[in-house]
Amino acid sequence: MTIAANASIKYESGRSLVAFKAMTDSGDHTVFSVSDRIWSGRAGYEPDIRPDGIASGITILSADTLADKIAVTDLTAYLAGVLRNVTNTTVTITRATVSDYVINSIVLTPVAPSSATLSAIKGVEGSSFITTRGATGGPPYIPVGSIEIGQIKTTSQSSAVILSSEIFQTPGSHQERSDYPIYHRPRNYGYGVNTSVTAKKYAHIEFCDALDLCHTGGTCKYVYIKYYTPVFTTIDSHNGFSPSETTTTPIMAQKYATILGHGTSKINSSGFNAEVENGITDALVALDGEMLIFQFYPDTSAAPFMLTMGILRFISSLPQAGPSVLKCIVVSKMATARFAS
């Protein structure tokens, strides 16, 4: 049997900013991460996630009065973590010259520092339309770093005014949006040893659906993130750390001759005791009510550790004799994660 006699507890005492950077696709086009393993969740320092795509406007494209031109209304879009503004303009498509069928993709490309330009990219001509990117009769691949606003499908080589029936701008099919698909709440420190998925071990985000592989090389759009990495300070005198864990309460119900069972799960609060000077001017006391990350090492000289994030609250004990103690309660936002190193 072992005891945590050489344990240490550290609390998030500061943060370091990491400016917007592109996240890494885990390979399933759903889970994205960065090299930093922990992201702060304190109010005002939460991860700011900006997938490339349209931010405002849905019916953006419409037929222009001039031949082979598409009218584009005002829109905003995130590209490389920056919100770009585009005022109403027109884009000229290129019709087929050999076969009759061709798809033009209307593409938005970033221009430093905060603007963007629109253009039309012609697909491979064919005798019919298909949905396969880069194939005959299919839509073209979108350059990496750009986004697709919509598609124009024409079936004639003759110059003419574009018909509304030739304009396609359905989100997820012909139009890339920043808010589609949506993603789950960021996992600020991942699942640790409780997952077999490498990309989910540390901090990451996970989309509800896989991102479309519509960009050059069969890749998906960029996802950008700004975040803060925690700076930890060791609590000098402490004891009694308890992790935040998920518990399930069984519930049984009689259904005629059968008893059916199910369960309800909840996350328990984490906690520990910390000795303080006076319970008033201590650095830890000033963080009452803040969302913080806590790091616990069962053995300071060994690699394994735990991470817990939650709102810090106190129950103070200031006796006439003996040490002043704060019973620290961490109202957890997510269960404690365990890490081998």
Q: pLDDT per position in the chain (341 positions), as tens?
A: 455 668 999 999 999 999 999 999 999 999 999 999 999 999 999 999 999 999 998 899 999 999 999 999 999 999 999 999 999 999 999 999 999 999 999 999 999 888 899 999 999 999 999 999 999 999 999 999 999 999 999 999 999 999 999 999 999 999 999 999 999 999 999 999 999 999 999 999 999 999 999 999 999 999 999 999 999 999 988 788 999 998 888 777 777 778 777 777 888 999 999 988 888 999 999 999 999 999 999 999 999 999 999 999 999 888 878 788 989 999 998 999 999 99
Q: CA-CA distance, 275 to 316, in Å (whole number)?
A: 10
| The pLDDT of residue 3 | 56
Contacts for 277-283: CB closer than 8 Å, 24+ residues apart: 277/324, 278/318, 278/324, 279/316, 279/318, 279/324, 279/326, 282/326, 283/13, 283/233
Burial class (CB in 10 A: 0-12, 13-18, 19+), 29: middle
Copy the structure tokens of residue 38: 């922990």
Q: In this structure, are residues 267 and 246 in contact, taking their beta carbons and an 8 Å threshold?
A: yes
Question: SS3 for 337?
Answer: strand
Q: How far is CA 205 from the centre of its chain?
A: 4
Q: CA-CA distance, 57 to 204, in Å (whole number)?
A: 28
Q: In this structure, are residues 190 and 201 in contact, taking their beta carbons and an 8 Å threshold?
A: yes
Strand ranges of the sheet holding 82-86, from the earlier edge strand across to the other edge: 53-56, 75-79, 82-86
Phi then psi dihedrals of residue 287, to 5 deg: -100, 10
| The pLDDT of residue 5 | 64
| The pLDDT of residue 4 | 63
Q: CA-CA distance, 24 to 33, in Å (whole number)?
A: 5
Q: In this structure, are residues 207 and 183 in contact, taking their beta carbons and an 8 Å threshold?
A: yes
| pTM recorded for the entire structure | 0.91
CA 168, 174, 179, 183 torsion: positive or negative? positive
| The pLDDT of residue 296 | 96
Question: SS3 for 109?
Answer: strand
The pLDDT tens digits for 14-25 are 999 999 999 999
| The pLDDT of residue 2 | 54
